[in-house]
Amino acid sequence: MDSVRPFIPRRRPRLAKVIVQVTVTNDRDPTRRKRFSDVYGPVWIQIEGFRRIADEVIFLEMEEGPRGYQPLVGYTVLEKSGAAVDMVSHQLIARKYYDLKSAAVA
């Protein structure tokens, strides 16, 4: 196994930002909502244009940028919301539903 060389990419991948509006609502007190204050879990999270889900959030200390605060939405929130990142157009798209059970039978 000494002859196996590690894979080294030729160029660094280009990373891009996808920016969308997110609304977080406190489940115990719906009057407390923030469009991305002390909100504690569980909360309702809604990414603009996608279904609302119940989940937990983590708030970290951060500095406000030139366009305000920009929250980071994790993969599980995207997956539960039915959203996927289109790396070509740099936007969120509706995730298609794949029935893997029927594909296994075929």
Query: So what's the pLDDT on residue 37?
Result: 40
Cβ-based neighbours of 83, under 8 Å, separated by 6 or more = 47, 50, 92, 93, 94, 95
Calpha distance 106→20 (Å, rounded): 38
User: What are the pLDDT digits (tens) for 35-63?
Assistant: 764 755 577 888 888 989 988 777 666 78
pLDDT score of 18: 65
CA distance 65 to 57: 21
Q: Domain map of the chain by residue range? A: 22-105
Asked if 69 and 36 count as a contact pair (C-beta separation under 8 A), the reply is yes
Distance of alpha carbon 48 from alpha carbon 55, whole angstroms: 16
